[in-house]
Amino acid sequence: MRLKEKVALITGAARGIGLQIAKRFLEHGATVILTDKVSLPFEISELGDNAYFMQLDVTQDTHWKQTLDWVSKQFSGLDVLVNNAGITGFEEFPEAHDPENFSIEAWEHVHATNLLGVALGCKYAIGAMKTRVSGSIVNISSRSGLVGIPAAAAYASSKAAIRNHTKSVALYCAEKGYPIRCNSVHPGAIFTPMWAQMLPTDPEELDVAKAAIAADVPLKVMGEPDDVAYACIYLASDESKYVTGIELNIDGGLLAGTSARPQN
Ligand code: NAP
């Protein structure tokens, strides 16, 4: 029960990493407000009495305001925000996303969701957390926020900006004397519906595609949503009370470096 009595809000929680974070937070005693752009593909009651759903499109200032007003009235404030919602942009804009050929529409759409969405979340969470005993904001960035990704330049740029904004929020809250910490998490290749959309649907072909991705990871396997969820439990809980402004990589060793060595 590492999150007992915490009130936590998670964005993009209908599936993938966000849903798994929600499930683990509930197991650890938190009250969890799952939010997503449209709806959940299941009944919220399936997750128990401490789970709530609010429709929240992270790009919409009014949605944030209404949701945080409701949370503040219902629970007298917020203890944890996980800014998880994020997109690659390939679903809505299948054309090239490289630095030479990207479209302004795709660039702006990706940044509106991934960067403005996180910035708005931080803005409203600060208001709802500053009178609590402690608050924790966890921003889900990406390995792509720390290295260049030529075929997904907007995604990489937005994720890099999340890393930087996290540090601004951490220092701002510390300077103001607010009891709020803010950290970023940088997943590598975690198998979720986001990946499933980009990989073959045939099970055998999917296994081959996943094995090819895993071959590039030092630990030789793709990550699971739980690998990120467990890191979020730590950052959300008071166990990390002296941790703010950090970046936590969950990537099977990808960012530890490349080998560039003779093959014997
Ligand atoms: P996912 O399976 O695609 O789930 C993302 C969720 O966010 C979906 O439910 C989606 O809803 C929702 N969403 C999209 N736009 C939204 C908006 N404007 N407002 C609210 N919700 C919105 O993705 P995932 O793999 O779990 O990724 C979760 C986070 O981890 C993302 O920020 C992603 O960039 C990051 N990440 C993932 C990986 C990975 O390997 N999976 C690696 C690094 C970082 P709709 O379906 O309705 O759009």
Residue nearest atom 19 of ligand 1, based on CA coordinates: 57
**Residue among 221, 157, 159 nearest 190 (CA):** 221
**Residue among 233, 168, 221, 175 nearest 22 (CA):** 233
pLDDT tens-digit map of 86-98: 999 999 999 999 9
Ligand 1 pocket by C-beta < 6 Å: which residues? 11-12, 14-18, 36-38, 56-59, 84-87, 113, 117, 140, 142, 187, 189-190, 192-195
pLDDT tens-digit map of 5-20: 999 999 999 999 999 9
For residue 84, what pLDDT band results from cuts at 50, 70 and 90?
A: very high
Q: Are 111 and 154 in contact (CB under 8 A)?
A: yes
Residue 24 is predicted with a pLDDT of 98
Sequence-separated (6 or more) residues with CB below 8 Å from residue 108: none
Give distance in angstroms: CA of 164 to centre of ligand 1: 20
Residue 51 is predicted with a pLDDT of 98
List the chain domain ranges.
Answer: 7-192+224-254
d(CA 246, CA 167) in angstroms, rounded, equals 7
Torsion of Cα atoms, 4 then 9 then 10 then 11, to 10° = 180
Residue 259 has pLDDT above 80, yes or no: no
Q: In this structure, what are the phi and psi dihedrals at residue 60, rounded to the nearest 5 degrees?
A: -105, 110
Residue 261 is predicted with a pLDDT of 80
Q: Which atom of ligand 1 is nearest to the CA of 187?
A: 43
Give distance in angstroms: CA of 13 to centre of ligand 1: 8
**Residue among 138, 16, 120, 140 nearest 65 (CA):** 120
**Residue 186 to residues 63, 74, 110, 133, 235, Cα–Cα distance (Å):** 26, 32, 17, 27, 13
Ligand 1 mutation target, pool 194, 232, 247, most atoms within 8 A of CB: 194
> 7-192+224-254 — its CATH code?
3.40.50.720
Q: Are 211 and 189 in contact (CB under 8 A)?
A: no
Q: Which atom of ligand 1 is nearest to the CA of 197?
A: 3
